[in-house]
Structure 1
Amino acid sequence: MKEIFKARKFYNNYGSEKFKVAVGIFFTMLVISVFIFLIVGYTDQPEASINGPYYYSFVDSFNNRVNLIDKPQRVVSLVGSYAETWILSGGELVGVTNDVISERKMELPKEIKIVGTIKEPNLEEIINLSPDFVLLSPDIESHVRIAQSLEKSNITFAFFKVEHFEDYLDMLNICTDITGNKELYEKNGLEVKKQIDDLLSKIDKKDNPNILFIRAFSSGAKAKNDDNMACKILNDLGTVNIASRHKSLLEDLSMEVIIEEDPDYIFLVTMGDSKKALEALKEGIAKNPAWSDLTAVKNDRFIVLPKELFHYKPNAKWGDSYEYLAKILYPDKYE
């Protein structure tokens, strides 16, 4: 506007025909330039323009800005479920932690290197693989420490936090953006979401069975609340977790409270050695005579859930986890 006011002042002072012509040409050229810019500006742009000078850029779950200069070719995952998500995204790996085999039973090419355990990854072996992208969890202290060493070595890394299906979907979306295989986001993400949505659409929200969810291990057992992966699924399926009303159960699995609530279902998932965990439960709370009088126990509704669907992150099988529980809770609706 300032320049226009100057032009007007100049025009008023001199008012020459030549000046009028010059101004007219100037504004004509300006309009043409803007028109050309608009046409060119809305033609197909290279992907790099979206992310500035980077191949891909995003914010991870630690709120760090992750900038990938090039498409990653040597990826290391320090979490088994993240390794699977990367593969589901069409990516390849050069290094993983041993939970990929011990827990997820994944079959991997022999050339992929095992770089320690999920809680104790071997930094030296990771560095020796010359990775250009490393997948980490913000919930594991050793991963946070390793990130500092990776940063000093100029190795790009990202933290992902996956607890529920929505988190998995977000990670899959980012990973398929990186690999360029968006059709796998549709197959391993959006199709699973549709499966879950279809299951949930059949639920009568007025029918809310009470449940108790227990996570058992060799040294004891604890109730879990709705922030747990399996509990979130149960909550989505319309159940009411008695631990949400009695927070004390999260610390002490009190038989008195369980008798008082008398849940319709008791679900259990084991950690570590399943056999030892179940034996510990039998010698613990299940040894109480009142245990066998609980409605859930009498009606064969004390159910041990499979680890692969309810302890380990099921990833592309998340819909199967929902379906597994839906058929138990509402057998008439899910045949």
Structure 2
Amino acid sequence: MKISKKVLSLLLVMLLALGLTACGGSNSGQSSNSGEATPASATPSSEESAGTTNTVTDELGREVTIPEDPQKVLALTSAVMQALYNIGVEPVGKVEEYKVTEEGSALPSVGKTQEINIEAVYALNPDLIIASSRFHAALKEELEQSGAVVYYFDPDKVGEIPLVELTPYIGKLLGKEDVADEYVQSVHAMADELKERISTETGIKTGIVIQDGDTVTAAQSASSYGSMLSLLGIENIVPDDLPNAKKASFVSFDVETIIASNPDVIYIMTASKDAENNKAILKKYKNDPQWSSLDAVKNNRLLILPFSVNPNRSTPEDMVKATAEAILKSNK
């Protein structure tokens, strides 16, 4: 019996040892699982966080983290407002210049592009502000105090045709590249059809857009107005490398250069859509000996640029269409 008791005791000790090992293993496993469970449950959150943000460097050289699908986006230029609409994002406010859509015009205002009302910005409580490095760099700290993410873009770095390419630029920023690309393709498809018609029906190859005034100013190719010529396959006679003119939509341009270039079509941008006033403007140019010798005047291609051809009043596609129709009508 003593031997039996010893054996029994040994067996009991062994069983206890195994039990303690099993418990220790179990506890160790729970600790490991617990240690892994926290990161595991945090990992989707972390991955989600990584997946729901887009860290980029803006045009002021700042690293900016853009949230995915921001709900309250505020654009501080009319062009960016329209780019947001083009990709299906409704801005939370407007700048005064914006007149393209009724819904956009009805939004609460934050002032003019170059005269932003900071208090109005704060009142909207945006979660993302898209500002221009050209107009709003001095407002950086005040805009950041709104609590929103602030991203600065540079109009000069958007693309060769900023009027259209701003949409994919903003689309990429907000993770809506597919929608933006579809939009751009549709604009180019329409422009290509009109370009073919202009080439076939009119033979126009060169042109210029000027502003009526005491001195002659002309649209640069990168401007919204110059972009119309580019999209329609018309070469702008205004060179791209004029000194000190990089940031201006319109630049000083002398009549002698226009006469020497003798463009096929001349658009005159006026301050209103008053028909009688515009007729008087055309008459003034046609009766001017300097202008009357030009082929554009002789061939009835000295045209008033439709009042709607303005990025504050029309979509890019409507601007292209109106610009082309003015040429095609003059050919009849």
TM-score bin (small chain) = 0.5 to 0.7
Q: Which residue of 2 aligns with 1:17?
A: none
Distance in 2, Cα, partners of 1:306 & 1:58? 39
Question: Which letter maps to 1:173?
Answer: G
5 Å matches for 1:204-243? 209-216=205-212, 220-243=215-238
5 Å matches for 1:131-170? 131-140=126-135, 143-160=136-153, 161=155, 164-170=162-168
Q: Which residue of 1 aligns with 2:261?
A: 261
Distance in 2, Cα, partners of 1:104 & 1:69? 27
Q: Does 1:117 align with 2:112?
A: yes
SS in 1 for 2:84: helix
SS in 2 for 1:93: coil
SS in 1 for 2:129: strand
Query: How many percent identity over aligned positions?
Result: 21
Structure having the higher Rg? 2
Q: Which residue of 1 aligns with 2:311?
A: 312
5 Å matches for 1:11-26? none
Larger deviation, residues 150-159 vs 53-62: 53-62
Counterpart contact for 2:73–2:129, Cα < 8 Å: yes
Counterpart contact for 1:214–1:223, Cα < 8 Å: yes
Larger deviation, residues 77-86 vs 184-193: 184-193
> Could you say if the C-alpha distance between residues 285 and 108 of structure 1 is closer, same or farther in structure 2, counting changes exceeding 3 Å?
closer
Question: Which letter maps to 2:305?
Answer: L
Deviation for aligned residue 1:302: 0.7
Larger deviation, residues 144-153 vs 131-140: 144-153
> Structure 1 regions of 5+ residues with no counterpart?
1-44
Q: Does 1:193 align with 2:188?
A: yes
Distance in 2, Cα, partners of 1:229 & 1:46? 44
Distance in 2, Cα, partners of 1:227 & 1:93? 25
Distance in 1, Cα, partners of 2:208 & 2:113? 29
SS in 1 for 2:171: helix
Q: Does 1:89 align with 2:87?
A: yes
Distance in 2, Cα, partners of 1:210 & 1:108? 35
Deviation for aligned residue 1:273: 4.5
Distance in 1, Cα, partners of 2:199 & 2:282? 35
Deviation for aligned residue 1:120: 0.6
> Could you say if the C-alpha distance between residues 187 and 209 of structure 1 is closer, same or farther in structure 2, counting changes exceeding 3 Å?
closer
Counterpart contact for 2:83–2:167, Cα < 8 Å: no
Q: Which residue of 2 aligns with 1:67?
A: 65
Distance in 2, Cα, partners of 1:330 & 1:97? 34
Q: Does 1:106 align with 2:114?
A: no
Q: Deviations over 1:212-268 (max 9, x none)?
A: 321235x543123323333234245443333339969942432x4433333221112
SS in 2 for 1:94: coil
Deviation for aligned residue 1:158: 1.6
When normalised by structure 1's length, the TM-score is 0.64
SS in 2 for 1:258: helix
Q: Deviations over 1:260-307 (max 9, x none)?
A: 33322111223x546599599679866633433432122210111224
Distance in 2, Cα, partners of 1:183 & 1:246? 34
Aligned-residue RMSD, C-alpha: 4.3
Counterpart contact for 1:95–1:129, Cα < 8 Å: yes
Distance in 2, Cα, partners of 1:323 & 1:128? 38
Question: Which letter maps to 1:95?
Answer: G
Counterpart contact for 1:209–1:264, Cα < 8 Å: yes
Distance in 2, Cα, partners of 1:245 & 1:183? 31
Distance in 2, Cα, partners of 1:236 & 1:244? 17
Distance in 2, Cα, partners of 1:273 & 1:202? 28
> Could you say if the C-alpha distance between residues 282 and 172 of structure 1 is closer, same or farther in structure 2, counting changes exceeding 3 Å?
same
Question: Which letter maps to 1:68?
Answer: I
Counterpart contact for 1:172–1:189, Cα < 8 Å: no
Question: Which letter maps to 2:167?
Answer: L
> Structure 2 regions of 5+ residues with no counterpart?
1-42, 244-249
SS in 2 for 1:214: strand
Counterpart contact for 2:52–2:68, Cα < 8 Å: yes
> Could you say if the C-alpha distance between residues 277 and 173 of structure 1 is closer, same or farther in structure 2, counting changes exceeding 3 Å?
farther
Question: Which letter maps to 2:212?
Answer: A
Q: Deviations over 1:52-75 (max 9, x none)?
A: 375233344445432134642222
Distance in 2, Cα, partners of 1:107 & 1:88? 13
Q: Which residue of 1 aligns with 2:291?
A: 291
Q: Deviations over 1:127-174 (max 9, x none)?
A: 12221111212221xx22222212244421122325524522323422
Distance in 1, Cα, partners of 2:269 & 2:210? 7
Q: Which residue of 2 aligns with 1:251?
A: 252
